Amino acid sequence: MFSRQLSANQKADLDSQAINNFRAYLQIPSVHPNVNYDACIKFLENQAKSLNLPITIVSPVPQKPIVILTRVGTEPTLPTILLNSHMDVVPVFEEKWAHKPFSADIDEHNNIYARGSQDMKCVGIQYLEAVRRLKKRGITLKRTLHLSFVPDEEIGGFDGMKRFVRTKDFQDLNVGAALDEGMASPTDEFALFYGERCVWHLKIHCSGRPGHGSLLLDNTAGEKATHILNKLFAFRNQEKQKLVDNPSWTLGDVTTVNLTQISGGVQANVVPPELLITFDCRIPPEHVNIATWEETVNQWCKEAGVWVEYPVKQPQILPTKLDNSNIYWVAFKKSTDKLGLKLKPQIFPGATDSRNIREIGIPVIGFSPINNTPILLDDHDEYLGVETFLKGIEIYCGILISVGNVEERSG
């Protein structure tokens, strides 16, 4: 592996190019609903040309392109490294923004404001710019890198990564491990995610005796709903207490239960025949036996005289191992230790495309090199500091050198 140092002028030029590319990518309004990815494809085709990298575009679902740029390693038969990011961003409420959400304005504090600046167009560009710097320095890697840019992550990834991992196109990439998005950290630590909670939606049907609102009827829908609500909110309070009792735990270590919808009834003076209540539940891959959890919910419903359906019922997916059995983690940690980074491994509280990759047995590390920055993903006035963005590129350079050259273990 040959390496040469960059001059101050070369470094300045690369920094300027990286910022311009980041802002240009942010200015593409790849926003839900009904995202048109054409502008993203054109932008990435130009990036591939500037980097002299082959580019492949596949569409397991029409109008849902998956773009892959590849840097072939010196030992291309080795399992490859997938650097994944998503092109889509969540909707905006423009009137709540101090800067236009797709302007990529830079303010007097050198912060870049745009939807996607943290979630996660920054990471996609940092991958590209890290590869550019490695090429400029003449650094080659043993393993092939695949930079994937996928659609629809913000709406579940069902037509994006979830579908893609089950195709021959994905199998042909020969992926050994992947990097995907993490989250900003307001402290000097860097958040690192090795697993995700699974999502269950409980739709609880509370049927009861209807009648006039002036009566005191038995077995009403409201009474039954109250019983199940009390059970679920008592459980919710227990989970909140766990975070108090275990200061090292994060939100990803507990089960969150939130009432999100209540419907039913026809008018104020009529006791309804049914009330429908919906809960969003997020269940960690550790600390919880999911079969026992389901038995508990079913028992509560039986006690209340109600029944439950599960519109969403994701499986628990094993987290990525962070120990010596995972050669990719060992290489990742070696590079971040060398860079002096403080990592805080944890379970991701929400959901990303990492779960779709882990589900087929590939280890994934979720990491966005953003610290000392408020968490603003999906928030108004989302921003990322220029210096934080540029530092992230250098961090990825170190990570890619280490992970991209990791040796296979014999046997």
Catalytic pick from 119, 129, 152, 153? 153
| Angle between helices 8-26 and 386-403 in degrees, nearest 10 | 110
Is 124 in contact with 116 (CB distance < 8 Å)?
no
In this structure, what token pair is assigned to residue 382? Answer: 């989302």
Is 392 in contact with 369 (CB distance < 8 Å)?
yes
Catalytic pick from 88, 129, 253, 353? 88
Is 133 in contact with 400 (CB distance < 8 Å)?
no
Is 213 in contact with 268 (CB distance < 8 Å)?
yes
* Catalytic status, residue 105: no
Is 79 in contact with 146 (CB distance < 8 Å)?
no
Q: What is the dihedral of CA 248, 355, 369, 109, to 10 degrees?
A: -100
**Residue 149 main-chain phi, psi, to 5 deg:** -120, 110
> 260-267 contacts: CB < 8 A, separation 24 or more?
264/206, 264/221
* Catalytic status, residue 407: no
Tell me which amino acid residue 157 is: G
Is 164 in contact with 170 (CB distance < 8 Å)?
yes
Instruction: Kindly list the catalytic residues.
Output: 88, 153
